[in-house]
Structure 1
């Protein structure tokens, strides 16, 4: 979880460094990640052959939602700051919690909800001084909200699918599907596939290796062991890491309230994870006596 949080914190930095269209960044990010994963996919061919038509449809839908997430969220960084965009992205657990309750009847303990509230409050402080009322900032905020909703759907579908298939196979198929969606989008919009300087290609590779392999793939793997709500709570750590990196590498200034918000995020995250871990431990203890 810690490795994943650090890795995804670099995502917004790489995106800010790039001058390429966000749809091209997203396409090559997912394409290069898929190519890195392919050599290790042979043991999962049997599992792929056993997938039902409904599974393939859900995988395609999850890939579309992932592509939509990248398109909207990455696009938001062209209009607003790293702190603002990642602060809004941290509302993802709210979408996840509601979706998990509606579709999976998954309940959340009161203490965990308190931790979630504290963490989200901290995220609000991080972006408080950075959210403006200009048309550009508003557009960036709306794009980030749309991207947050899309990735929440992606994670909820993933939670259902990784029960029946290896997380590695799930990640590979979904990344390929999302890359294809981006390719079709770029083709329709007449966006160039190849005419970019070497610096951009380096950024595409960094986006694939750092936040995707060590971020999204790790989070997909975690879905086998913890709920989508818990995985999404870890993303609350991204605004902290991303804001610090934006300060160091992009010169984006942070106010005292934003530093205080970072501490609240980590506190709330700790409360939530501790409550979830305690609940899991109690369940495991109860199983032998129940049997």
Structure 2
């Protein structure tokens, strides 16, 4: 029987990568603080999901214990930190630098899977990861700034990278008990509330923003979160966190070209070379193999 392409988690993963890649452009266009961008991105996503009554699915899933709810909180916390650090990094460094450093999340995810889940991997996959990371570093070599501000932006992106890896590891545990949609809804809601509290504590303006900024809030919610991070969460039920994290290495390549077309950021020979090497690494990592978890289950 012919396999339905819509049943493949890799299709969802590809859509997610495309959707998330453009988020850096939206953020560069915005003038609102990173904490506000992140808050509205998540809370508006929750509003978009309300018509689908995600809580009805949650009510049917009663197999969560106190430890699971604690994991939900920490997953939400680290997602909020990821958005806060990474979005702020784009205020201080280029799209290329920020996205490239963010793409190092598979390193931390793979390490986390090894230490906390005792997960094993093949030498071939480790080598493919090294090749992909090498490509990212080649891109970075020609772009990472030497100024204090650029280095600060790079550091923030690294913190966002680590926070995202931790978020994925918690998600790996939780989506085995609840659906990707339910997990996403709860995590986005808690993360949005945490960022709202952050903005209130630090007295960040919440309402007085231009129409352009409000449009960007909506675009970030729909494209970058629902068609991005939510699809990643769904894929976690069928793919290891390291695989989902590995796919995000493709984001800098797309973001660099989008930044060139829409922001006028220069593309260097090193970036082109590194991009090709990264694509090769990703291709080797996703080389077809037998797997029991190959079909999307809502």
Change (3 A) 1:48 1:188: farther
Structure-2 residue corresponding to 1:17: 29
Q: How many angstroms apart in 2 are the aligned matches of 1:89 and 1:47?
A: 36
Q: How many angstroms apart in 1 are the aligned matches of 2:290 and 2:108?
A: 22
Which stretches in structure 1 are left out of the alignment for 5+ residues? 285-291
| 2:78 is equivalent to residue 78 of structure 1 | no
Q: CA deviation at 1:54?
A: 2.0
Structure-1 residue corresponding to 2:67: 54
SS of residue paired to 1:280: coil
When you count helix as a share of all residues, which structure comes out higher? 1
Structure-1 residue corresponding to 2:5: none
Question: What is the aligned counterpart of 1:261 among 270, 274, 277?
Answer: 274
Structure-2 residue corresponding to 1:179: 192
SS of residue paired to 1:186: helix
Q: How many angstroms apart in 2 are the aligned matches of 1:264 and 1:194?
A: 44
| 2:14 is equivalent to residue 36 of structure 1 | no
Q: CA deviation at 1:74?
A: 0.5
Instruction: Write out aligned runs for 1:104-119 (5 A).
Output: 104-119=117-132
TM-score normalized with structure 2 length? 0.91
Moved more, 208-217 or 45-54: 45-54
Q: How many angstroms apart in 2 are the aligned matches of 1:84 and 1:19?
A: 20
Describe the superposition over 1:17-73 as per-residue Cα deviations: whole angstroms up to 9, x where unpaired: 000000000000000111111221154042355432222211111100000000001
Structure-2 residue corresponding to 1:289: none
Structure-1 residue corresponding to 2:154: 141
Kept in 1: contact 2:86–2:160 (CA 8 A): yes
Q: Which runs of 4+ in 1 moved over 3 A?
A: 47-50
Q: How many angstroms apart in 2 are the aligned matches of 1:163 and 1:229?
A: 15
Instruction: Write out aligned runs for 1:138-217 (5 A).
Output: 138-217=151-230
| 2:225 is equivalent to residue 245 of structure 1 | no
Which stretches in structure 2 are left out of the alignment for 5+ residues? 1-12
Q: CA deviation at 1:280?
A: 2.4
Describe the superposition over 1:233-286 as per-residue Cα deviations: whole angstroms up to 9, x where unpaired: 000000000000000000000111101111111110010011xx31527x99xx
Kept in 2: contact 1:48–1:169 (CA 8 A): no
Q: How many angstroms apart in 2 are the aligned matches of 1:200 and 1:244?
A: 23
Change (3 A) 1:144 1:233: same
SS of residue paired to 2:289: helix
SS of residue paired to 1:155: helix
